[in-house]
Amino acid sequence: MKIIDLRSDTVTRPSTVMRQAMASAEVGDDVYGDDPTVNALQEYAAKLLGFESALFTASGTQANFVAIMSHCQRGDEYIVGQQAHTYKYEGGGAAVLGSIQPQPLEFADDGTLDLDLIAAHIKPDDFHFARTSLLCLENTQNGRALPLHYFTKARAFCETHQLNLHLDGARLFNAAVAQKVDVTEISRHFDSVSICLSKGLGAPIGSVLCGSKDLIDNARRWRKVAGGGMRQAGILAAAGLYALKNNVDRLADDHANAQILNEGLSKIEQINVLQDPTQTNMVFFTVGKDDVAPLGEMLKTNGIIASVGTKTRLVTHLDISREDVEKVIEVIKGYFEQKG
């Protein structure tokens, strides 16, 4: 039985061709800056997103951490979404290791942060307060592609208030593909952007932080401080380079499969499916609390792995086919039919 894993797009496994690229990668010592494949990945990513420079990191958490550390000083503050990865899911690294205070705010329904709300939380220039230095956004946010017009407003806002602007773009390419724009239509508004190679793009590990040369030079130091200096990392960088060159356009397939899944589940009377036209590769639905455990067990029995709760997220990715999606729909439909 094929296992259909819908927990996240981080569960993908490298393809045979990607593994071949990894096995044949030319390598050197990246701490010395001598790994040609790492250098090629960094140069390619920087050019792709329209930045001067880039840095290969072990994870998205590390990329965001070194970005915040490079934008802020001890005693500074960054404004961020209450449910944002850079606040909620990264172990509090900026606060724990950098003495940088987060100021979390609630996201609007479209995944943006209201600029008037941000303005109200920027601290006065007074020694009683942390210095507000940075605004962190996230795209996609819970699978939603943020509206393009928002970035122009956010850029102007940050210039008015003298804030740096960072994007956690873990799924930035999902947003660009869904909105049918070049990725630079989003990235050009930011001082730094992190992209994740190991989510929808299918690499086994790694993220890239893009920014100015000065910012990346600073981030490289913080990466070393955080224990992120890697040696013959070209073996990993080769997978990321392959992913950026070959797996971006195909994200549209994941979005199409998510839409099929959304539509199929919407026909099941006993569940409520979130309808959001800006969703990319994620489907959210709710069920009654009495259905959580038995539905999860039914899925598991049929080779489907999902984090089932009263609100469930299913994520499509390159290891999920249309046939897999149709099977998931039938299994969930069958559960409720069997229940009566």
Q: pLDDT, tens digit, for every residue of 245-293?
A: 999 999 999 999 999 999 999 999 999 999 898 999 999 999 999 999 9
Which of 246, 274, 291 represents a domain boundary (last residue)? 246
My answer on whether 289 and 189 are in the same domain is no
Tokens of 333: 């439909």
**CATH number, domain with residue 72:** 3.40.640.10
My answer on whether 266 and 140 are in the same domain is no
My answer on whether 276 and 206 are in the same domain is no
Strands, E assignment, 121-203: 131-138, 164-169, 192-196
Tokens of 64: 């965001």
In a domain, 106, yes or no: yes
In a domain, 50, yes or no: yes
d(CA 34, CA 38): 8
**CATH number, domain with residue 302:** 3.90.1150.10
Residue carrying structure tokens 């998205």: 60
My answer on whether 262 and 150 are in the same domain is no
Residue percentage of the chain with pLDDT more than 70:
100
In a domain, 235, yes or no: yes
* pLDDT at position 329: 98
pLDDT digits (tens, 9 = 90+) for 170-181: 999 999 999 999
Q: Which residues neighbour 96 within 8 Å (Cβ) at sequence distance 6 or greater? A: none
pLDDT digits (tens, 9 = 90+) for 133-166: 999 999 999 999 999 999 999 999 999 999 999 9
Mean pLDDT (the chain, rounded): 96
My answer on whether 91 and 228 are in the same domain is yes
My answer on whether 43 and 162 are in the same domain is yes
Name the residue range of residue 86's domain. 16-246
Q: What is the DSSP string of 290-327?
A: GGHHHHHHHHHHTTEE---SSEEEEE--TT--HHHHHH
d(CA 9, CA 25): 25
d(CA 263, CA 258): 9
* pLDDT at position 205: 97
My answer on whether 222 and 268 are in the same domain is no
My answer on whether 237 and 254 are in the same domain is no
Q: Is the pLDDT of residue 339 over 90?
A: no
Q: Which residue in 200, 213, 209, 299 sits closest to 254, CA to CA? A: 200
Residue 298 CA neighbour count, 13 Å, CB half: 19
Q: What is the DSSP string of 223-261?
A: HHHTT---SSTHHHHHHHHHHHHHSSTTHHHHHHHHHHH
My answer on whether 23 and 156 are in the same domain is yes
In a domain, 292, yes or no: yes
In a domain, 3, yes or no: no
- CA quadruple 210, 211, 213, 216: dihedral sign: negative
d(CA 233, CA 214): 23
- Asked if 309 and 292 touch (Cβ cutoff 8 Å), the reply is yes
Rg of the Cα trace of the chain? 21
Model pTM? 0.96
d(CA 190, CA 152): 10
- Asked if 166 and 193 touch (Cβ cutoff 8 Å), the reply is yes
Which of 246, 267, 291 represents a domain boundary (last residue)? 246
Q: Which residue in 51, 70, 41 sits closest to 219, CA to CA? A: 70
Provide the domain count of the chain.
2
Which of 246, 265, 295 represents a domain boundary (last residue)? 246
In a domain, 2, yes or no: no
In a domain, 7, yes or no: no
My answer on whether 236 and 263 are in the same domain is no
My answer on whether 107 and 150 are in the same domain is yes
Split at pLDDT 50, 70, 90, the class of 1 is confident
- Sheet containing 101-105, strands listed edge to edge, beginning at the edge strand earlier in sequence: 53-57, 207-211, 192-196, 164-169, 131-138, 76-81, 101-105
In a domain, 118, yes or no: yes
d(CA 146, CA 265): 24
My answer on whether 234 and 268 are in the same domain is no
